Structure 1
Amino acid sequence: MTELPKALQEWFDGRGWSVHPHQRDMLDRSRAAQLLLIAPTGGGKTLAGFLPTLAELTEAPRQGLHTLYISPLKALAADIRRNLLIPIEEAGLPIRVEDRTGDTPSSRKRRQRADPPNILLTTPESLALLTSYEDAARTFHGVERVIIDEIHALSESKRGDQLMLALARLQTLAPDLRRVGLSATVEDPQAIARLMSHGETPTEILMADPGPDPDISMLQTDVAPPWSGGGAAYAIPAVLEQVKQHKTTLIFHNTRAQAEIFFHNLWLANEDSLPIGIHHGSLDRGQREKVEAAMVAGQLRAIVCTGSLDLGIDWGDVDLVIQVGAPKNVKRLVQRIGRANHRYNAPSKALLVPANRFEIVECVAALEAVKAHDLDGEPRGPGPRDVLCQHILIAAASGPFDADDLYAEMAAAGPYHGLTRDAFDACLNFCATGGYALRAYDQWQRLKQREDGMWQLRDPRSAVRIRQNVGTIQDTDTLKVRWRGRGGAPLGEIEEGFAASLTKGDTFLIGGQIVRYEGLRELTVEVSRDAHKKPKIATFMGTKFATSTQLSDRILHLFQQKDWPQLPRHTADWLRLQRDRSRLPQPGRLLVESFPHDGREQFVAYGFAGRNAMQTLGLLLTKRMEEMGLAPMGFVATDYAVLIWGLDAVVDPRSLFDAEALEDGLDGWLAGNAVMKRTFRASATISGLIERQLGGQRKTGRQATMSSDILYDTLLRYDPDHLLMQITREEAMRGLVDFSRIRDMCERVGDRIDHVRLDRVTPLAAPLFLEPGRVPVKGTAEERLLEEEVTRLLNESGLAAVDLTARPTPASTG
């Protein structure tokens, strides 16, 4: 058993602490080449990752970089630095610690490259930048360990792919580098282990004691949830009562807009003037930092927040977590629950607040999944090629490279273990020339091959532009919001599209305040205070979650119970009524209902494929119905169903759900669709084809959109098989349109489609009529309705018998 150095052991003893078993195991296995620790939130996994570093640097002090710590959040890196300095300073350890993020002054960044600290805390983007410099070999000389914190969070986005490519470069510079991954409880530890692995070396997995089950239940309210909507305003009194009973409560929401609405309503009901804050990614950094400082100091009783507080920062004395709205994903719910009682072996306390009647069912299914330790997650696909293109440019910025060596380096990274040489060469050719349709333009002639076979930048000055555009986070096109007047304090950001919809005098919510739009000044939205109007709601994008496949499956199985004692009476009665009047959806089958309502034919498909997939299904089904002459007029989609209304009834729905025909329809629809162009813009930016930063200035969203739309239309017309067009289709299929879940649904269901024809709206369909976001369909229905209206008007005027198409006979001239 590895012993702690005396100074560290005395520090633990002085605090009355003992090393947890999994922290001891990390010390014992500190020489492992690749090690993944899975530990519950609050289990001290970050300290477990650092203990071997502290021990090694205490016993053998040295200059230069020893350990690199990677965090998914800048705030987490800063928080870890504060916490890490406590044992270092109190135990008098000879260790220098610094952080490096986008907020670090450029002078300190330059110094860190020449004289790195013993421990450097950074983010995937900053690490990628560090590897792009010519002096990267000197900066990383002698680095021994890399700690990847919250690796499960990074694994869910392209930031994880970018990080693994950067680590592959780091491994080339420091072949003996040891990797340590730290993760909260995940559904598939092997998948995380494969992600962080290098080459053929397997990653060892260490499982910590999961600790006690959380104390989690649904919030009891005097008022039943509404049939639709996501604000949960009905629960405000009950939530306030819980806030009063606890020290600090985190109130999580799934979107920033919902958080703003809830905070506003909570504040209006806060008659006791309890100190309450709001925290989300669209708020000004200064405002977020004030809230964070107040949380750490224990000055706030509640914080309304989004995923910005999901990860492992230890925010003061939080003793209750409230999740408003269905969690959509069990794994994310467990992560959020862990924010409460953030201590080892202390049960977390959490309450779920369904926003509407259907979410009660989803919340019960999520509660059962948490109790059964049944986590969810989607399988990872291969590493995306737009990230690979960016990495090739990063490698070129650091100096000339050999293509064989770079291919071997990239193929050793976990997400790219299956990378073929042909795929790599296609990306290299794209980086060098821009591809067939663009090779005539100098701006995309970025690489050249020397006579000795090495590749290098065609213009060395382009290295600066490459570094300015490193990263995979695609910011939505936003504008800064400030109080009116010179030197007005910043409030945050809103989307460009939302800002364009505002006229002077309009009001909206930001930071929990109602503000009045005064105008646009130098690409900044200027506002003044206005507390008297009902506000518009700023369209904060953030992340829009879809219910996971596993959670949807649990809901379908819950429907099959004979009775539902775990549901509130009103919800159980609702499901019983659905079963009596129609039927409930079943696993492995597809329920579709059709009935007349409001003078239109209604068609409902209960696909339970998640919001993105159901939205796409609505688009594809209406396209198919239009082709079949069924005159659809519009649709609305939720996580569990799509409702389509039109002029003609669907008699046989089976032909509508042919997966091959749907995919063919998708190809045609995607080609000229805004979804495809948006996806293209993101991939073109990541791959380096479009630069968002130029000469230190950021292009506006409108400028970037115009550039990408022109490029997209050009490639679609002249080079539809261009590498970037291939990447765009792959990304759209698995991201924004989520077609894989539609395909899975069709394959799982086959011809087992239950079509129920009724004479009225069914209980399960009723909430769909109250959903916002109804999408109209332009087509033959409009023409037919216009003809019917003309006929009706002619009948009313008595002119129906007159042939208005006959031309008058010219008068006789005699």
Structure 2
Amino acid sequence: MPTGSQLPQPLTDWFAARGWTPRRHQLDMLAAGRAGQHALLVAPTGAGKTLAGFLPTLAELIEAPVDGLHTLYISPLKALAVDVQRNLLTPIEEMDVPIRVETRTGDTPSDRKARQRARPPQVLMTTPESLSLLLSYPDSLTMFDTLKTVVIDEVHAFASGKRGDLLSLCLARLHALVPGFRRVALSATVADPDAYRAWLAPYGDIDTVTLVQGEKGADPDIAILLPEVRVPWSGHSGIYAIEQVMAEIETHRTTIVFCNTRGLAELVFQQLWKANRLSLPIGVHHGSLSLEARQRAEGAMAEGRLRALVATASLDLGVDWGDVDCVIQMGAPKGSSRLLQRIGRANHRLDEPSEAVLVPGNRMEYLEARAALDAVEAGELDEDVFRAGTLDVLAQHVMACACAAPFGEAEMLQEVRAALPYSALDQEVFHRVLNFIADGGYSLRAYDRFKRLTLGKDGMWRISHPSFVAQHRLNAGIIVEAPMLEVRFKNGRRLGKVEEGFGSSLAPGDTFFFAGMALEVEKVELTDLIVRATAKQARIPSYMGARLAITSNLAHRVRQYLHDRSQWARFPDDVREWLEAQARRSAMPTPEQLLVETFPHEGRHHMICYSFEGWNAHQSLGMLITRRMEAMGLKPIGFVANDYALAVYGLEKIEDPRALFSPDILEHEFVEWVQQSALLKRAFREVAIIGGLVERQHPGKRKSGRQVTFSTDLIYDVLRKYEPDHLLLRAAWADARARMTDVGRLAHLLDTAGERMLHVDLDRVTPLAVPVLIMIGRETVAQGVTEDELLIEAEAIATEAMRLDG
């Protein structure tokens, strides 16, 4: 019997036939597997991470075959599970060993799902949500009897969020069913391995998880693409460089063009087609496209039929296309870890550098791109913030367990505490969660449809009625999209979905770009947008989506660039001249200072705060400061924000900005604003769906986004009035604070603003203010104003700012 890191003969022969030698970290993972240790592997893309994770499984199944489930592979993406299955089947078939590998996702046919529970394969590839559903069946109590290993791929992508909460609870459930299984996690970008080791381990016992570090690959070859004329003052798209981007595509085998939003992906795709004089095959890929459309694009890439694919974060993870030799990032990357992940999609060979090109949208974004490039070079990754698990996810998990079998409260609490996010869960809070599932809470207990659990005389909690089991399985899941409308042709062919807010603004005859096509609306139905292809001019759909904010470590680097003049020689002439003009006209803050400028412009008084805390925090701050200005009689008109600065403008001069930035704004204006805004209602809608209070679907029919929103709004109003301390209102409040407003960064800004503030009062606009000030023009111009007119206006502001006199 082989020992330690020794491979069984079929694997040794397979490596030799390929001309490969197992890498050190692959053998280290095998040794950890043979020793029965949990393991976290951190290795760059192209280092054979997935094979390393599976080596112990392959070795064990070759040496001692089992008839039953041996290994669960958990992926954040359905596509990744399917892709890995395809890659894993190749060595299994070439070694001619009897190992059955299957996938189980939301797209798996129901008859195959039933068969997988009755006769599971040795290796089952799935997602956190599908595993949770699997655990809701009574036969899950025996299905996992032979389980030896759980492999979690791309763990950085979801461990610190709600999907991570769900998966950690599923691992705790498996631990209760089969305590001896091994946990393995794989990632290319982890800033704090110990945090992930604690998350992975039962009860957070970090010492039980072996850390395996992969060999460092070749340094990536990253360039910042500069325009032939000059870096623009404003904009976030990088569209000005579309001809240069097309030239990059022409000179590479296969290119992925990453965009930060779905709307930008559609816009860039259209612009590339206009510049595509050689008619090269180009595709588009994002999360709102139909599964069929995404699979077509992925298949064309895998087969080498596309020269370029314009994509969003939908392709950040894992899809292994060896022929991709260039990655282009349109707009700023927002974080060094995200940039590294995207660069890793190019050239899956460890000893050859991945090639990437950054296309900053404006001058501030140039500094951000430079910061990201330097951070990657220094090996500096973005920090992941782990927090306590959310109660809506816990409620969904407990309901899944109840669907499988009755349980006792004390035993379930002990089981749940094995998951690190819930390790400090209070007994009283857990009891409230159970009571919430049992009757919906004090205000809703008169309604039978909320009575999902019953406490029996034997002290066991069980499902109140079989109908709730079907309801749970139909509605379970962590990802809650904004209400969407299906986009389809009259013949039934589905193209994907657009957000309801955008779709409901369309009328027959309106045109928009989607799935790489110009479409004309024929009819708007309750849940469908019926369209036909058209040659007319069209607009780009807008998506609420998740707006990426610049990470703290990139923001800190940009602050250092502004202060350290020795860095400026590295920048293009126009960027350097811009910074020099700012230093002459106003001030350059130190990294610890908060620069606030006040000046008149076009009959209004402006205050610009350069806080670098990200768009989300600045949006919240703008709302709060304008409220306080109103109360102080400063007559605010509005505000605009980007990742770097907040601009507030009104009719009265702000003499003392410190009064607007006091920390008590979070106790007064913030609480009042969140409670009155749609922010809390949106958060409540999410937690109500995840917590199982509101159905997305009912057996035999699906609710429209409007219907779901109407249901959650009604319940929200009832609870606000009669039970303000309801479990889900507390969960929604925590969500609204933590996720939707970047309240941690906001609180730090307000706590320190008074002592850090450098206030400079000026007689006119400053160079540093131009990028954010231009946004005011863009947001207040009348409909129909052309891009040329906006550019003329922007140029006028820039000329005034850069003027040396006065």
**Shorter-chain TM-score: what band?**
over 0.9
Q: Match for 1:544 among 544, 547, 553?
A: 547
Partner deviation per Cα, 1:728-771 (whole Å, 9 max, x = no partner): 11110111111111111123444221111111111111222322
Q: Match for 2:17 among 8, 14, 17?
A: 14
Deviation at 1:560, TM superposition (A): 0.7
Alignment partners' CA distance in 2, 1:38 and 1:332: 15
Alignment partners' CA distance in 1, 2:669 and 2:49: 48
The residue that corresponds to 2:30 in the other structure is 27
The amino acid that maps onto 2:314 is S
Question: Secondary structure of the equivalent of 1:186?
Answer: coil
Question: Secondary structure of the equivalent of 1:643?
Answer: strand
Pairing 1:704-723 to 2, within 5 Å after superposition: 704-723=708-727
Alignment partners' CA distance in 2, 1:696 and 1:168: 33
Alignment partners' CA distance in 1, 2:778 and 2:656: 24
Pairing 1:367-516 to 2, within 5 Å after superposition: 367-483=373-489, 485=490, 487-516=491-520
Q: Match for 2:618 among 603, 614, 618?
A: 614
The count of residues paired between Structure 1 and Structure 2 equals 773
Residue 10 of structure 2 corresponds to residue 4 of structure 1: no
The residue that corresponds to 1:802 in the other structure is none
Deviation at 1:773, TM superposition (A): 9.8
Q: Match for 2:636 among 602, 626, 632?
A: 632
> In the superposition, relative to structure 1, how do residues 755 and 522 fare at CA in structure 2: closer, same or farther (>3 Å)?
closer
> In the superposition, relative to structure 1, how do residues 722 and 775 fare at CA in structure 2: closer, same or farther (>3 Å)?
farther
8 Å contact from structure 1 (residues 297, 316) kept in 2: no
Alignment partners' CA distance in 2, 1:163 and 1:518: 43
The amino acid that maps onto 1:545 is L
Alignment partners' CA distance in 2, 1:488 and 1:472: 29
Deviation at 1:226, TM superposition (A): 2.4
Question: Secondary structure of the equivalent of 1:519?
Answer: strand
The amino acid that maps onto 1:624 is R
Deviation at 1:345, TM superposition (A): 2.6
Alignment partners' CA distance in 2, 1:389 and 1:498: 32
Alignment partners' CA distance in 2, 1:703 and 1:488: 23
Alignment partners' CA distance in 1, 2:363 and 2:507: 36
> In the superposition, relative to structure 1, how do residues 521 and 665 fare at CA in structure 2: closer, same or farther (>3 Å)?
closer
8 Å contact from structure 2 (residues 236, 332) kept in 1: no
Q: Match for 1:217 among 214, 223, 229?
A: 223
User: After the TM superposition, which of the residue ranges 724-733 and 229-238 deviates more from structure 2?
Assistant: 229-238
The amino acid that maps onto 1:168 is A
Alignment partners' CA distance in 1, 2:759 and 2:252: 50
Between structure 1 and structure 2, the one with the greater Rg is 1
Deviation at 1:727, TM superposition (A): 0.9
Residue 559 of structure 2 corresponds to residue 553 of structure 1: no
Question: Secondary structure of the equivalent of 2:191?
Answer: coil
Question: Secondary structure of the equivalent of 2:530?
Answer: strand
Question: Secondary structure of the equivalent of 1:304?
Answer: strand
Alignment partners' CA distance in 1, 2:636 and 2:778: 13
User: After the TM superposition, which of the residue ranges 94-103 and 135-144 deviates more from structure 2?
Assistant: 135-144
Partner deviation per Cα, 1:129-160 (whole Å, 9 max, x = no partner): 00001111121121111000111112242111
Residue 92 of structure 2 corresponds to residue 88 of structure 1: yes
Alignment partners' CA distance in 2, 1:699 and 1:423: 31
The residue that corresponds to 1:787 in the other structure is none
Q: Which runs of 5+ in 1 are unaligned?
A: 777-814
Partner deviation per Cα, 1:468-517 (whole Å, 9 max, x = no partner): 1111101221111112x3x2422221111111111222111111211111
Alignment partners' CA distance in 2, 1:40 and 1:299: 27
The amino acid that maps onto 1:25 is D
RMSD: 1.5
Alignment partners' CA distance in 2, 1:413 and 1:434: 25
Deviation at 1:177, TM superposition (A): 0.8
Partner deviation per Cα, 1:502-550 (whole Å, 9 max, x = no partner): 12221111112111112124622111222232x2211234432000111
Deviation at 1:377, TM superposition (A): 2.1
Q: Match for 1:330 among 336, 358, 383?
A: 336
Residue 701 of structure 2 corresponds to residue 697 of structure 1: yes
Alignment partners' CA distance in 2, 1:666 and 1:627: 14
Pairing 1:156-175 to 2, within 5 Å after superposition: 156-175=160-179
User: After the TM superposition, which of the residue ranges 142-151 and 415-424 deviates more from structure 2?
Assistant: 415-424
The amino acid that maps onto 1:14 is A
Alignment partners' CA distance in 1, 2:663 and 2:395: 32
8 Å contact from structure 2 (residues 362, 771) kept in 1: no
8 Å contact from structure 1 (residues 33, 177) kept in 2: no
The amino acid that maps onto 1:683 is V
The amino acid that maps onto 1:615 is Q
Deviation at 1:571, TM superposition (A): 0.8
Alignment partners' CA distance in 1, 2:610 and 2:584: 17
The residue that corresponds to 2:354 in the other structure is 348
Question: Secondary structure of the equivalent of 1:595?
Answer: strand
Deviation at 1:25, TM superposition (A): 0.5
Pairing 1:667-706 to 2, within 5 Å after superposition: 667-706=671-710
Q: Match for 1:63 among 62, 67, 70?
A: 67
Question: Secondary structure of the equivalent of 1:160?
Answer: helix
Alignment partners' CA distance in 1, 2:740 and 2:700: 30
8 Å contact from structure 1 (residues 585, 606) kept in 2: no
User: After the TM superposition, which of the residue ranges 102-111 and 282-291 deviates more from structure 2?
Assistant: 282-291
Alignment partners' CA distance in 1, 2:21 and 2:376: 29
Alignment partners' CA distance in 2, 1:103 and 1:556: 46
8 Å contact from structure 1 (residues 447, 456) kept in 2: yes
Question: Secondary structure of the equivalent of 2:711?
Answer: helix
8 Å contact from structure 2 (residues 337, 382) kept in 1: yes
The amino acid that maps onto 2:497 is E
Residue 667 of structure 2 corresponds to residue 663 of structure 1: yes
Q: Which runs of 5+ in 2 are unaligned?
A: 781-806
The residue that corresponds to 2:276 in the other structure is 270
8 Å contact from structure 2 (residues 582, 588) kept in 1: yes
User: After the TM superposition, which of the residue ranges 631-640 and 760-769 deviates more from structure 2?
Assistant: 760-769
Residue 616 of structure 2 corresponds to residue 598 of structure 1: no
Alignment partners' CA distance in 2, 1:60 and 1:275: 48
Alignment partners' CA distance in 2, 1:33 and 1:171: 15
Alignment partners' CA distance in 2, 1:236 and 1:614: 30
8 Å contact from structure 2 (residues 322, 346) kept in 1: no
8 Å contact from structure 1 (residues 635, 775) kept in 2: no
Pairing 1:569-608 to 2, within 5 Å after superposition: 569-608=573-612
Pairing 1:762-781 to 2, within 5 Å after superposition: 762-771=766-775
Question: Secondary structure of the equivalent of 1:771?
Answer: helix
Residue 314 of structure 2 corresponds to residue 311 of structure 1: no
Partner deviation per Cα, 1:52-89 (whole Å, 9 max, x = no partner): 10110011112110000001111111111111111111
The residue that corresponds to 2:744 in the other structure is 740
The amino acid that maps onto 1:90 is E
Alignment partners' CA distance in 1, 2:158 and 2:481: 17
Seq. identity, % = 49
8 Å contact from structure 1 (residues 230, 258) kept in 2: no
Alignment partners' CA distance in 2, 1:613 and 1:696: 42
The residue that corresponds to 1:249 in the other structure is 255
> In the superposition, relative to structure 1, how do residues 390 and 365 fare at CA in structure 2: closer, same or farther (>3 Å)?
same
User: After the TM superposition, which of the residue ranges 449-458 and 106-115 deviates more from structure 2?
Assistant: 449-458
8 Å contact from structure 2 (residues 547, 616) kept in 1: no
Partner deviation per Cα, 1:85-120 (whole Å, 9 max, x = no partner): 111111111101111001100000000000000000
Residue 659 of structure 2 corresponds to residue 648 of structure 1: no
TM-score (norm 1): 0.93
> In the superposition, relative to structure 1, how do residues 774 and 386 fare at CA in structure 2: closer, same or farther (>3 Å)?
farther
